[in-house]
Amino acid sequence: MNWRDKVLDFNIGNRDEGLAGLVFDVQKFATHDGGGIRTLIFLKGCPLQCLWCSNPESLSPQPEINFVPNNCVGCGKCRTVCQQGAIGDGKVDRPGLIIDRDRCTLCGQCAKFCYAGAINIIGRYVTVPELMAMAERDRQFYEESGGGITFSGGEPLAQPQFLKAALKEAQGRGIHTAIETSSFASWEVYEPILEHVDIVLTDIKHMDDKEHQRLTGVSNRLILENIQKISSLGIPLRIRLPLIPGINDTDSNLEATADFLQNLNEVQSLDILPYHRLGEMKWGQLGCQYPLEGLEPPTLEQVEERTSCLRDRSFKISIGG
pLDDT at position 7: 27
113: confidence class by pLDDT, cuts 50, 70, 90: very high
**Containing H/E element for 67?**
strand 64-67
Domain with CATH 3.20.20.70 in the chain: 3-62+127-319
Q: Is the pLDDT of residue 321 over 90?
A: no
Looking at residues 190-217, what average pLDDT do you find?
97
Rounded (5°) CA angle 223-229-233: 140
Query: Among 10-19, 42-51, 140-149, 150-159, which stretch is predicted with the lowest mean pLDDT?
Result: 10-19
Of 28, 31, 29, 11, the closest CA to residue 20 belongs to 11
CA dist 147 → 103, 237, 313, 321 (Å): 44, 16, 28, 15
The third-level CATH classification (topology) of the domain covering 66-122 is Alpha-Beta Plaits (3.30.70)
In the predicted structure, residue 95 carries a pLDDT above the cut 90:
no
Neighbours of 97 (CB within 10 A): 19
User: Rounded to 5 degrees, what angle do the CA atoms 225, 239, 39 make?
Assistant: 115
Q: Per-residue pLDDT for 250 more than 70?
A: yes
| Per-residue pLDDT at 296 exceeds 90 | yes
pTM of the model: 0.88
Q: Is the pLDDT of residue 11 over 80?
A: no
In this predicted structure, the answer to whether residue 242 has a pLDDT above a threshold of 60 is yes
Q: Which residues of 236-257 are buried (b: 16+ CB within 10 A; e: fewer)?
A: bbbbbbbbbbebbbeeebbeeb
The rounded distance, in Å, linking the Cα atoms of 173 and 166 is: 11
- State the pLDDT at residue 311: 85
> What is the reported pLDDT for 98?
86
Q: How many residues does the chain have?
A: 321
CATH 3.30.70.20 domain locations along the chain: 66-122
Q: How far apart are CA 282 and CA 289, in angstroms?
A: 9
The yes-or-no verdict on residue 92 having pLDDT over 60 is: no
pLDDT of residue 246 exceeding 90: yes
The domain covering 3-62+127-319 belongs, at the CATH homologous superfamily level, to Aldolase class I (3.20.20.70)
199 has pLDDT over 70 = yes
Look at residues 57, 320, 273, 42 and name the one whose alpha carbon lies nearest to residue 180. 42
Q: What is the pLDDT of residue 223?
A: 98
261 vs 269: CA distance, rounded Å: 10
| pLDDT classification of 18: cutoffs 50, 70, 90 | low
- How far is it, in rounded angstroms, from Cα 64 to Cα 122? 5
> Prior bond to 148 cis, omega within 30?
no
Average model confidence (pLDDT) for the chain? 90
Confidence (pLDDT) at 88: 86
